[in-house]
Chains A and B, each alone.
Chain A
Amino acid sequence: MDELNLKEMIKSILNEMVNEVPPVINSPSKEATVNTRQTANSCVVEEGFIPDITEVDIRKQFLVPNAADKEGYLKMKSYTPARLGLWRTGTRYLTEPSLRFRADHAAAQDAVFSYVNEDLIKQMGFVEVATECKDKDEYVTRPDLGRKFSNEAINTIKNAVKPNQKVQVIVGDGLSSAAIEANIRDVLPSLQQGLKMFGLDFGQVVFIKHCRVPAMDPIGEATGAEVVCLFIGERPGLVTAESMSAYIAYKPTVGMPEARRTVVSNIHRQGTPAVEAGAYIAEIIKRMLDKKVSGLDLKEK
Chain B
Amino acid sequence: MTETLLSVGIDIGTSTTQLILSELSIENIASVFTIPRVSIKDKKVIFKSDIIFTPILENNLIDSDGIKAFVEQQYKKAGITKSDIQTGAVIITGETVRKENAQAVAKALSGFAGDFVVATAGPDLESIIAGKGAGTYSYSESQYTTAVNFDIGGGTTNLVVFNNGDIEDTACFDIGGRLIKVDTSEIIRYISPKVKEIIKREALEIHLNEKINLKELDKLLAIFVQVLENSIGLGEKSPYFDLLITNKALSTKIQMKCISFSGGVADGITKDPIQNPFKYGDIGLLLGKKISGSLLMTDLKLIPTVETIRATVVGAGSHTTDVSGSTITYKEDILPLKNIPILQLSKDDESADNSGNLGSIIEEKVKWFMVDGEVQTIGLGIEGAHSPSFQFIQSLAKEMIKGLDLLIKEKLPLVIIVKEDMAKALGHSLYANLPKDYPFVCIDSVHVRNGDYIDIGMPIAEGSVLPVIVKTLVFN
Contact = CB atoms under 8 A, between A and B. Distances in A.
A276 B34 CA distance: 12
A273 B33 contact: no
Nearest to A182: B387
A185 B393 CA distance: 13
Interface in B395-427: 421-425, 427
Interface residues of B, number: 25
B397 to A, nearest CB: 10
Contacts of B425: 190, 193-194, 273, 275-276, 278-279
Interface string B12-46: 00000000000000000000111100000000000
Interface in B345-391: 386-390
Interface in B425-446: 425, 427-429, 431-432
Given A75-B144, A279-B327, A193 B429 contact: yes
Contacts of B35: 264, 272, 276-277, 280
B144 A72 contact: yes
A72 B164 contact: yes
Given A186-B389, A196-B432, A273 B34 contact: no
Contacts of B34: 264-266, 271-272
A129 to B, nearest CB: 26
Question: Most chain-A CB neighbours within 10 Å: which of B32, B33, B35, B421?
Answer: B35
Contacts of A193: 425, 428-429, 432
Contacts of A270: 387
Contacts of B432: 193, 196-197
A193 B394 CA distance: 10
A193 B421 CA distance: 18
A28 B245 CA distance: 71
Nearest to B427: A279
A270 B420 CA distance: 12
Question: Most chain-B CB neighbours within 10 Å: which of A271, A273, A277?
Answer: A273
B428 A282 contact: yes
B33 A185 contact: no
A16 interface: no
Contacts of B389: 185-186, 275
Nearest to A271: B34
Given A194-B428, A299-B32, A273 B387 contact: yes
B164 A269 contact: no
A43 B387 CA distance: 44
A178 interface: no
A152 interface: no
A264 B393 CA distance: 21
A194 B35 CA distance: 16
Contacts of B421: 272-273, 276
Contacts, number: 80
A75 B141 CA distance: 10
Interface string B146-178: 000000000000000000100000000000000
B155 to A, nearest CB: 36
Contact of A189 (B386, B388, B390, B422): B390
A270 B432 CA distance: 27
Contacts of A69: 144
A98 to B, nearest CB: 28
Interface string B120-137: 000000000000000000
A241 interface: no
Nearest to A196: B432
A274 interface: yes
Question: Most chain-A CB neighbours within 10 Å: which of B386, B387, B421, B423?
Answer: B387
Interface in A190-225: 190, 193-194, 196-197
A190 B386 contact: no
Question: Most chain-B CB neighbours within 10 Å: which of A69, A71, A271, A276?
Answer: A276
Contacts of A239: none
A263 interface: yes
Contacts of B327: 276, 279-280
A47 to B, nearest CB: 27
B388 A275 contact: yes
Nearest to A193: B428
A279 B428 contact: yes
Contacts of B428: 190, 193-194, 197, 279, 282
Contacts of B429: 193
A299 B393 CA distance: 30
Contact of B390 (A72, A75, A190): A190
A167 to B, nearest CB: 16
B200 to A, nearest CB: 47
Question: Most chain-A CB neighbours within 10 Å: which of B34, B390, B423?
Answer: B390
Interface in A68-89: 69, 71-72, 75-76
A280 B326 CA distance: 10
Q: Name the 7 nearest CB pairs between A and B, nearest first.
A: A72-B144, A275-B425, A279-B424, A273-B387, A279-B425, A269-B387, A189-B390
28 contacts: A71-B164, A72-B145, A72-B164, A75-B144, A186-B390, A189-B390, A190-B390, A190-B393, A190-B425, A193-B429, A197-B432, A264-B35, A265-B34, A266-B33, A266-B34, A272-B421, A273-B386, A273-B387, A273-B421, A273-B422, A275-B388, A276-B327, A276-B422, A276-B424, A279-B327, A280-B35, A280-B424, A282-B428
Given A72-B164, A273-B422, 17 more contacts: A72-B145, A75-B144, A76-B144, A190-B393, A190-B425, A190-B428, A194-B424, A194-B428, A266-B34, A269-B387, A273-B387, A274-B390, A275-B388, A275-B390, A275-B425, A278-B425, A280-B35
